[in-house]
């Protein structure tokens, strides 16, 4: 901070304009958070907004390319993700990697994140308060990445991104848009669901082929 700015602040404080200064400072730190992956990841790592920080091993921010055109959004970290600090690295993640390779997509073109950055105990569904507290982290990831397309993986991601409660089987197969910037969004099954319901893998494959085609 330059000497003249320090002096200006001194005068403003002396005039009792502290509140305005605090607001300016808060706005400046918000802006730098939005402009910088590293700052955002650090803010997430230090987050104590909800009780999940008490039982996490670590936060799970995201993985993949920060230049990716496709953003995958899942639900929340599981046990393995909590251990490694990376999304989709357990059994569901291994299936996801096989699907990605199977439709000819490359991890250089993909970024993966979750609705929640901390593991809910016993892998229970995220609750509304946790989603609300975590939502601006995901929004900032989307703003930084500006993906060409978002793929919501599973019911929890689809419901929270689209603000609907329709069954996933009825949501897939159609194009949606996400947020104010209207990023095209597609919906498919969660890989953990596919591990339990392998008969639906063919439908998931159709979704992924469509996504691959849209990216071309």
Residues in contact with ligand URA by CB under 6 A are 74-78, 81, 87-88, 90, 92, 114, 192
Nearer to ligand URA, 158 or 192 (CB): 192
Which has the closest alpha carbon to 114: 172, 166, 173, 56?
Answer: 56
Find the shortest distance in angstroms from Cβ 97 to ligand URA. 12
Report how far residue 137's alpha carbon sits from residue 135's, in angstroms, rounded to the nearest whole number: 5
What is the number of the residue whose Cβ is closest to ligand URA? 74
Find the shortest distance in angstroms from Cβ 85 to ligand URA. 11
Nearer to ligand URA, 40 or 116 (CB): 116
Do 105 and 70 touch, CB atoms closer than 8 A?
Answer: yes
Residue with tokens 């929004």: 139
Report how far residue 211's alpha carbon sits from residue 216's, in angstroms, rounded to the nearest whole number: 9
Find the shortest distance in angstroms from Cβ 117 to ligand URA. 10
CA distances from 157 to 4, 35, 66, 67 (A): 49, 24, 20, 22
Find the shortest distance in angstroms from Cβ 196 to ligand URA. 13
Convert 132-147 to b/e letters by CB count within 10 Å (16 or more is b).
ebbebbbebbbebbeb
Nearer to ligand URA, 153 or 183 (CB): 153
Do 123 and 78 touch, CB atoms closer than 8 A?
Answer: yes
Find the shortest distance in angstroms from Cβ 131 to ligand URA. 13
Find the shortest distance in angstroms from Cβ 10 to ligand URA. 49
Nearer to ligand URA, 34 or 94 (CB): 94
Nearer to ligand URA, 52 or 192 (CB): 192
Which has the closest alpha carbon to 178: 191, 166, 163?
Answer: 163
Report how far residue 83's alpha carbon sits from residue 57's, in angstroms, rounded to the nearest whole number: 6
Nearer to ligand URA, 76 or 149 (CB): 76
């Amino acid at each position: 901070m330059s000497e003249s700015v320090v002096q200006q602040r001194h005068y403003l404080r002396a005039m009792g304009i502290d509140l305005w200064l605090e607001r300016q400072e808060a706005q400046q730190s918000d802006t730098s958070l939005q402009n910088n992956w590293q700052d955002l990841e650090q803010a997430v790592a230090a987050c104590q907004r909800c009780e999940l920080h008490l039982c996490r091993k670590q936060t799970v921010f995201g993985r993949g390319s920060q230049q990716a055109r496709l953003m995958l959004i899942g639900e929340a970290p599981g046990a393995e993700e909590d251990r490694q600090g990376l999304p989709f690295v357990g059994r569901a993640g291994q299936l996801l990697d096989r699907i990605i390779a199977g439709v000819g997509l490359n991890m250089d073109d993909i970024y993966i994140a979750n609705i929640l950055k901390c593991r809910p105990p016993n892998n229970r569904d995220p609750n509304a308060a946790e989603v609300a507290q975590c939502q601006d982290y995901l929004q900032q990831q989307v703003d930084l990445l500006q993906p060409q397309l978002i793929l919501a993986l599973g019911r929890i991601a689809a419901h929270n991104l689209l603000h609907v409660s329709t069954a996933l089987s009825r949501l897939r197969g159609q194009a949606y848009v996400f947020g104010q910037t209207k990023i095209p969004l597609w919906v498919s099954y969660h890989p953990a669901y596919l591990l339990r319901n392998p008969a639906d893998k063919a439908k998931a494959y159709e979704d992924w082929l469509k996504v691959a085609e849209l990216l071309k």
